[in-house]
Amino acid sequence: MRPAQALIDLEALRHNYRLARRLGGGKALAVIKADAYGHGAVACARALEAEADGFGVACIEEALELRRAGITKPVLLLEGFFDAAELPLIVEHGLWTAVASQWQVDALAAFRTEAVLTVWLKLDSGMHRLGLSVEEFRAAHARLSALPQVGPMVLMSHFARADELDSARTQEQVDTFARAIDGLAGETSLCNSPALLGWPQVRSDWVRPGLMLYGADPLYPQPSPHAAQLRPVMTLQSRVIAVREIGVGEPLGYGARFVAEKPTRVGVVAMGYADGYPQFAPNGTPVLIDGVPGRLIGRVSMDMLTVDLNDHPQAGLGSVVQLWGNAPTLSELAPRCNTSAYRLPCSLKRAEKVYL
């Protein structure tokens, strides 16, 4: 069997959830959209269900996958519904919905049901992606509060630059939020992972951790005392399936991106960009070879990549090569490959997921 595997440590996931909840000081919605950032939404929801206050997903398809798997905890549609036709399903499955655009307010007002919906009303406090302006927000709050089909609302907003600890923007967004909710009834929800880890002065009733649940540090390389407590959840690994010796001046792999300057022992590893490993990882990208730091050489191909075994005399056929996990971490690897710690696990494909 092909040895490419993503080992997923569900105890580490629970540890990170508890840390997020403790830092937030209130309730925590575990964000498991995009198949839990590639970690498997159903498995992650099951692992967290006993203690999570709720789950956040991107769309009703993701929510229904959780319900079909027997998850009964609250599930919030972070972008709300895409079409008023989803509203009966939202009621049927007891989902929570964000309301982030004026047309969604209108659709909700026109929707007839015996049920009482939980609505997270979203303010655009400065990101300018989704959310209502301050005036629209206050008007929508008044209008929705008067509707029998709308229950207590959670007042939410989302930060654009919380990962930049020296940016004034996050505090400006907090101030805009405070102005918008002044005098309005409802719990509040502000913090994503970077805000939880980097902005302890920002507080709300609900936090919405995503990336940090999976053990990646969104503030890297800025120092962050809490991020040091995160435990990586996914370890991507495979094995050496062939060993080659190449002479001085000989090229390796597609495009001869690596040319040997000395006799080089090369390990061929069953892992490629079709598994989600970044195609443009440069020569020298760190890997672990049987637990010892080593480096990638040559261009990553669809199903294979190559590593330098010169400093690993003990390594050979069958050696375990770790591509990310406790080392290199997603946060260390991402900037070297011109990508982000968010995107790396989201790209996971084909490699077998093994839950620990």
Ligand X SMILES: *Cc1c(COP(=O)(O)O)cnc(C)c1O
Binding residues for ligand X, per CB under 6 A?
Answer: 31, 33, 78, 158, 192-194, 208-211, 218
Active site residue 220: no
CA distances from 213 to 21, 189, 230 (A): 10, 17, 8
Question: Could you tell me which residues come within 8 angstroms of residue 212 by beta carbon, excluding any fewer than 6 positions away?
Answer: 16, 19, 20, 193, 196, 197, 218, 227, 230
Smallest gap from Cβ 354 to ligand X, in A, equals 23
Distance (Å, rounded) from C-alpha 99 to C-alpha 105?
Answer: 7
- Whose Cβ is closer to ligand X: residue 100's or residue 150's? 100
**Is 302 annotated among the ligand-binding residues?**
yes
- State yes or no: is 262 an active-site residue: no
Q: Which of 36/43 has CB closer to ligand X? A: 36
For the chain, the straight-line distance linking the first and the last C-alpha, in angstroms and rounded, comes to 19
E strand or H helix that includes residue 245: strand 234-246
Q: Minimum distance from CB of 253 to ligand X (Å)? A: 34
Q: Are strands 234-246 and 320-324 parallel, antiparallel or unpaired?
A: antiparallel
Output 59 or 320, the one with its CB closest to ligand X: 59
129 marked ligand binding residue: yes
Cα separation, 259 vs 266, in Å, equals: 12
212 contacts 196 by C-beta, under 8 angstroms: yes
**Whole-angstrom distance, CA of residue 77 vs CA of residue 72:** 15
Token duo for residue 278: 């970044």
The least CB distance from residue 331 to ligand X, in Å, is 13
Q: How far is the CB of 81 from ligand X (least distance, A)?
A: 15
Name the helix (H) or strand (E) containing 266: strand 264-269
Nearer to ligand X, 204 or 264 (CB): 204
Nearest residue to ligand X by CB is 210
Please report how close the Cβ of residue 158 comes to ligand X at its closest, in angstroms: 5
Q: 20: closest CA among 221, 177, 191, 165?
A: 191
> Considering beta carbons, is residue 79 or 275 the nearer one to ligand X?
79
Which residue out of 73, 122, 220, 254 is catalytically annotated? Answer: 254
Q: Which of 17, 33, 277, 342 is catalytic?
A: 33
Residue 203: which of 187, 184, 190 has the closest Cα? 190
Query: Which residues contribute to the annotated binding site for substrate?
Result: 129, 302
Query: Which residues contribute to the annotated binding site?
Result: 129, 302
Catalytic residues: 33, 254
